[in-house]
Amino acid sequence: MSSQSKGVLTGNEALVRGFYEAGGLVAASYPGSPTVEVLETIKSYEGVYAEFSTNEKVALEVAIGGSFTGARSMAVMKHVGMNIASDPLMTFTETPIRGGFVLVSGDDPGMASSQNEQDNRLFAKFANMAILSPGNSQEAKDYTKLAFSLSEDFQLPTLLNITSRVCHSRSVVTMGEREEHAPTGFDLDPVKYAMIPKNTYQAQYFMKDRLEKLQEYAYDCPVNQLEEKDGATILVIASGLMYYNLKEIDPPVSIYKLGLTYPLSIKRIKELSEQYDEIIVLEEMMPFIENELKIHGIPCSGKSYFSFTGELNSEEIAEGLYKAGVLKKKIDRAEKTAAVARPPLFCSGCPHRPIFDILKKSKVKIMGDIGCYSLAAQAPFNGSSSIISMGASIGITKGVQKALALKEDPKPLVAVIGDGTFFHSGIPGFINLLHQADDKDNLTIIILDNRTTAMTGGQSNASSGHYNLADDMNIDIESLIKTIGFKQVVMVDQFKYDEAKKVINNEIKRPGISIVIATRPCALKYKIKEPHFYVDPSICIGCRSCVNTNCPPIRMKEYKDYDKLKSSIDANMCVGCSICAQVCPVNAIKRSESD
């Protein structure tokens, strides 16, 4: 895209443009919604080093290394990724910044695709960072550039706090020129950068001092703007998307729009509070700004009118403003049309399906993990009792097993974990399994090695190179697991259904710890399309065993000349994995001659 042109970009694409124009050189990420597209977009720009790292902690460390060398660097992650990255983050933020450093946190109000809804503004304050909160694509670009310059000017890492609606919605963006910021080299002063106790005490004062300077800057910072309305007695403080949603309603209030949401200029807001009868803070999720004002003795309200959870659209904001007495009339909510419920399904030919079909039939308790296979938690498989966070299934299963053993209630337990999650944070859990292992333990861990990070769209991970040489890592999980010290390790081809079923059931019965590695690749990333299957209605007895495998192309239908419903397969959707044919008790499902 040429400079000075305009384009319609998503928030994610626009922040990448900001990174590029700011002279960004190093970017690292772990894929996760709502920010997965950021790194994918950066890869289309030349002259930038970009990688999907093994997890968010490593991504942060790669970006820290870039910044230590004077390169403008960015780490990108979804909100829960900050939990993984927080260990290096909390110490990195004690050091001065060389190359501008931006941490992008994609927060997910309403949990559209996340296991929780955490407000990472709190995390950034905890870590002594500045926070910028863009509300549309132009701001995503402009604030990214500003984030780099604030980072260098005030010597602190900056959090770009972007929410899922802003990441994915599109608006017009004006492009600019790329600035050049060459790396300065790696010659750090250990007193400032080696965070041993002798040096960290001084670092506490350094952090305090730089935040106070930034607070002074916030007084008339260009991205904090007052919009006064004639006769208004109420001031609403809003940032990010909330400002734009508020503007749609156009209430009789003045607005103080915050682009720099931390630190706040308390001096400026105190002055404003003297001009208005009331201050209302409008923000999604936690009462972050509201609490900041209250801590500093500025009377205000906010969460008493607006929901503490979920997204706040214009209707919800209007309802809150009515409760607050700002709007005199209740705004009629648009009639909600009932959308047809369409629960997410495993894809056609997904290799996870036969595993969960086998486990469902074995009636064993399963601890799930984060990945596509978390879909198995819902009907018809009901195949995971718990899903907490990346890699957690292994430690949790061990704890359950040990607690049950104390109750003298030994039960076989199964944990499932994908390859991406295994590399992300599963490996320490596996190592810990061998600690105080007991022959009476009965754990079967199934590693669903589909060779990609499938849930976020098929990004490569450490074992993807097996199928695609361009993916340059091909770590062999079996060798790694054996090297850790596991003796009972078996490989299964889950498309050989009966064989896989026998192996898995044997391992579930076997006392001790068994590792089963399921070896089929993701059906979407590595499309291995075989001739499709079809149902011969003259043989089908309508038992629904095939339908119960829950593959999207299969359904029961009426056939001419048959009273009973029989199975059928949509040839256009079938990828020919053969699982349905293998579970059919009467061989009514056959492979077509060609596709």
Determine, following the binding rule CB under 6 A, whether residue 246 of this chain makes contact with ligand SF4.
no
Which of 53, 245, 261, 567 forms a contact with ligand SF4 (CB under 6 A)? 567
Phi, psi of 137 (to 5 degrees): -70, -40
Which of 183, 465, 512, 553 forms a contact with ligand SF4 (CB under 6 A)? 553
Residue 386 zone, left/alpha/beta (φ > 0; ψ -120 to 50; rest): beta
Which of 148, 243, 533, 534 forms a contact with ligand SF4 (CB under 6 A)? 533
Which of 85, 578, 590, 593 forms a contact with ligand SF4 (CB under 6 A)? 578
Residue 551 assigned to a binding site: yes
State how far Cα 105 lies from the chain centre. Answer: 9
Distance separating alpha carbons of residues 482 and 179, to the nearest angstrom = 50
Instruction: Please identify, using beta-carbon distances, which residue of 65 and 380 lies nearer to ligand SF4.
Output: 380
**Region binding ligand SF4 by CB under 6 A among candidate stretches 152-160, 233-241, 282-290, 543-551:** 543-551
Closest approach, Cβ 74 to ligand SF4, in A, equals 40
Angle between helices 81-92 and 56-68 (to 10 degrees): 30
Distance separating alpha carbons of residues 7 and 9, to the nearest angstrom = 6
Which of 323, 527, 544, 557 forms a contact with ligand SF4 (CB under 6 A)? 544
Identify residue 417 by its one-letter amino acid code. Answer: I
Residue 584 assigned to a binding site: yes
Beta sheet of 260-262, edge-to-edge order: 49-52, 26-29, 73-78, 101-107, 158-163, 130-132, 260-262
Which of 579, 590, 592, 594 forms a contact with ligand SF4 (CB under 6 A)? 579
Instruction: Please identify, using beta-carbon distances, which residue of 260 and 583 lies nearer to ligand SF4.
Output: 583
Phi, psi of 84 (to 5 degrees): -70, -40
Closest approach, Cβ 552 to ligand SF4, in A, equals 7
Closest approach, Cβ 557 to ligand SF4, in A, equals 11
**Region binding ligand SF4 by CB under 6 A among candidate stretches 230-238, 387-395, 462-470, 577-585:** 577-585
Closest approach, Cβ 579 to ligand SF4, in A, equals 4
Tokens of 430: 């596996």
Q: Which residue has the tokens 């607690």?
A: 403
Distance separating alpha carbons of residues 555 and 249, to the nearest angstrom = 47
Instruction: Please identify, using beta-carbon distances, which residue of 153 and 530 lies nearer to ligand SF4.
Output: 530
The helix (H) or strand (E) run that includes residue 414 is: strand 413-418
Tokens of 473: 């890592």
Determine, following the binding rule CB under 6 A, whether residue 545 of this chain makes contact with ligand SF4.
yes
Distance separating alpha carbons of residues 159 and 369, to the nearest angstrom = 28
Instruction: Give SS3 for 227.
Output: strand
Which of 321, 394, 522, 575 forms a contact with ligand SF4 (CB under 6 A)? 575
Determine, following the binding rule CB under 6 A, whether residue 500 of this chain makes contact with ligand SF4.
no
Cis status, amide bond into 380, omega within 30 of 0: yes
Beta sheet of 512-518, edge-to-edge order: 365-367, 413-418, 442-448, 512-518, 489-492
Closest approach, Cβ 519 to ligand SF4, in A, equals 17
The helix (H) or strand (E) run that includes residue 261 is: strand 260-262
Instruction: Please identify, using beta-carbon distances, which residue of 330 and 544 lies nearer to ligand SF4.
Output: 544
Residue 546 assigned to a binding site: yes
**Residues 433/394, Cβ–Cβ less than 8 Å:** yes
Closest approach, Cβ 497 to ligand SF4, in A, equals 10
Distance separating alpha carbons of residues 49 and 62, to the nearest angstrom = 10
Distance separating alpha carbons of residues 77 and 529, to the nearest angstrom = 33
Q: Any idea what DSSP says for residue 593?
A: S
Phi, psi of 312 (to 5 degrees): -105, 105
**Region binding ligand SF4 by CB under 6 A among candidate stretches 168-176, 205-213, 252-260, 585-593:** 585-593
Instruction: Please identify, using beta-carbon distances, which residue of 39 and 546 lies nearer to ligand SF4.
Output: 546
Determine, following the binding rule CB under 6 A, whether residue 542 of this chain makes contact with ligand SF4.
yes
What's the number of CA atoms in the CB half-sphere (13 Å) around residue 303? 12
Instruction: Please identify, using beta-carbon distances, which residue of 95 and 567 lies nearer to ligand SF4.
Output: 567
Determine, following the binding rule CB under 6 A, whether residue 8 of this chain makes contact with ligand SF4.
no
Residue 580 assigned to a binding site: yes
Instruction: Please identify, using beta-carbon distances, which residue of 327 and 577 lies nearer to ligand SF4.
Output: 577
Residue 512 zone, left/alpha/beta (φ > 0; ψ -120 to 50; rest): left
| Binding track over 336-375 against ligand SF4, x by CB under 6 A | ------------xx--------------------------
Closest approach, Cβ 530 to ligand SF4, in A, equals 8
Closest approach, Cβ 418 to ligand SF4, in A, equals 20
- Residue 593 CB coordination number (10 Å): 6
Determine, following the binding rule CB under 6 A, whether residue 531 of this chain makes contact with ligand SF4.
no
Which of 313, 535, 562, 563 forms a contact with ligand SF4 (CB under 6 A)? 535
Helices (H), 364-496: 392-406, 419-421, 427-433, 477-484
The helix (H) or strand (E) run that includes residue 77 is: strand 73-78
Distance separating alpha carbons of residues 266 and 549, to the nearest angstrom = 60
Closest approach, Cβ 343 to ligand SF4, in A, equals 17
Closest approach, Cβ 256 to ligand SF4, in A, equals 56
Distance separating alpha carbons of residues 89 and 83, to the nearest angstrom = 10
Which of 179, 543, 559, 592 forms a contact with ligand SF4 (CB under 6 A)? 543
Instruction: Please identify, using beta-carbon distances, which residue of 462 and 574 lies nearer to ligand SF4.
Output: 574
Closest approach, Cβ 333 to ligand SF4, in A, equals 42
Q: Which residue has the tokens 């599109």?
A: 170
Determine, following the binding rule CB under 6 A, whether residue 546 of this chain makes contact with ligand SF4.
yes
Which of 472, 586, 590, 595 forms a contact with ligand SF4 (CB under 6 A)? 586
CB under 8 Å to 194, separation ≥6 — which residues?
A: none
Determine, following the binding rule CB under 6 A, whether residue 540 of this chain makes contact with ligand SF4.
yes
Which of 1, 8, 431, 541 forms a contact with ligand SF4 (CB under 6 A)? 541
**Region binding ligand SF4 by CB under 6 A among candidate stretches 154-162, 170-178, 302-310, 545-553:** 545-553
Residue 300 assigned to a binding site: no
**Residues at the contact surface with ligand SF4, assessed by CB under 6 A:** 348-349, 533, 535, 540-546, 549, 551, 553-554, 567, 569, 574-580, 584, 586, 588-589
Q: Residues at the annotated binding site?
A: 540, 543, 546, 551, 574, 577, 580, 584
